[in-house]
């Protein structure tokens, strides 16, 4: 397993912008959102379990998961939300672990909006928080998603506060400024992670 960095932040904080800059440097990024979709794709065992539990109506005509319908059910019923999370979280975590273990870059990144809200933080060696003000989160996310502020605020309500998130960070990128300022911070951390990966690889060779 290479050195693993967990990258997280609130909606609109700049996680994708930061991830893309690590990818451009040849670093493999496992995206927890993508994994979460992959494990309920057609033909996957978890999808069959979901259909058995909620009924075939939870699938659309093509046999894909009707996400909007599932979201509505679990939003209205905490017990169903709990059932779904108990099914999916271990499957998602196993798949994340498998993908990270296969990474061949000097270090790898797990990018997840819910790194700290789930058990996923246990899969990483360091926690990198992308931080920005709530005002900028709102502005950038509304622009990007063409959503209204109320929808973005509702999502922010379900996430940790800035203070809670930053209190658990090993490293913080302050994304209050320009894209250039973000780029500089990514480069600085990239160099740090390369050094850390190098020294942990060396200590492994010494002990083995
Ligand atoms: P997240 O993945 O955390 O939800 P994104 O990386 O998608 O956030 O960023 C949200 C929006 O803000 C995107 O449209 C992105 O291009 C823009 N953005 C992010 N960082 C900056 C920045 N430093 N300056 C200007 N725009 C930014």
Domain boundaries, the chain: 1-27+107-208, 34-104
> Whole-model pTM?
0.93
d(Cα 73, Cα 69) in Å, to the nearest integer? 6
**What is the rounded CA–CA span in Å between residue 153 and residue 90?**
29
Determine the average pLDDT of the residues in 120-140: 97
Give the H/E segment covering residue 128: strand 126-131
CA of 61 to the centre of ligand 1 (A): 35
Atom of ligand 1 nearest to the CA of 13: 3
Cα angle for residues 34, 74, 69 (degrees, 5° grid)? 70
Question: How many helices (H) and strands (E) would you count in the chain?
Answer: 9, 5
- 140 CA distance to ligand 1 centroid (A)? 6
Element housing 173 (H / E):
strand 171-174
Q: Is 34-104 a CATH 3.40.640.10 domain?
A: no
- In the chain, the percentage of residues whose pLDDT exceeds 90 is 88
CA 18 – ligand 1 centroid, Å: 9
pLDDT band, residue 201 (cuts 50/70/90)? confident
Residues with CB under 6 A from ligand 1: 9, 11-17, 140-141, 144, 175, 177-179, 182
Tokens 């798949």 sit on residue: 95
| 117 C-beta neighbours (distance < 10 Å), count | 15
CATH of 1-27+107-208, one of 3.40.50.300, 1.10.260.40, 3.90.1720.10, 3.40.190.10: 3.40.50.300
Token pair listed for 8: 């997280």
Same fold, 1-27+107-208 and 34-104: yes
pLDDT tens digit sequence for 74-107: 989 999 999 999 999 999 999 999 999 999 999 9
């Amino acid at each position: 397993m290479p050195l693993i960095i967990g990258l997280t932040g609130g909606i609109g904080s700049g996680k994708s912008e930061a991830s893309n800059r690590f990818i451009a440097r040849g670093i493999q990024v496992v995206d927890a959102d993508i994994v979460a979709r992959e494990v309920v794709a057609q033909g996957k065992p978890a999808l069959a379990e979901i259909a058995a539990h909620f009924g075939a109506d939870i699938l659309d005509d093509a046999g894909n998961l009707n996400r909007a319908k599932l979201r509505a059910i679990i939003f209205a019923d905490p017990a169903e939300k709990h059932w779904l999370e108990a099914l999916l979280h271990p499957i998602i975590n196993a798949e994340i672990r498998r993908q990270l273990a296969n990474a061949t870059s000097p270090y790898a990144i797990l990018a997840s909006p819910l790194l700290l809200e789930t058990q996923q933080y246990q899969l990483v060696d360091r926690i990198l928080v992308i931080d920005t003000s709530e005002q900028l989160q709102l502005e950038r996310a509304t622009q990007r998603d063409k959503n209204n502020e109320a929808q973005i605020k509702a999502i922010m309500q379900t996430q940790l506060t800035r203070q809670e998130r930053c209190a658990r960070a090993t490293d913080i990128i302050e994304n209050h400024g320009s894209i250039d300022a973000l780029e500089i911070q990514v480069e600085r951390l990239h160099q740090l992670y390369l050094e850390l990966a190098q020294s942990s690889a060396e200590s492994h060779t010494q002990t083995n």
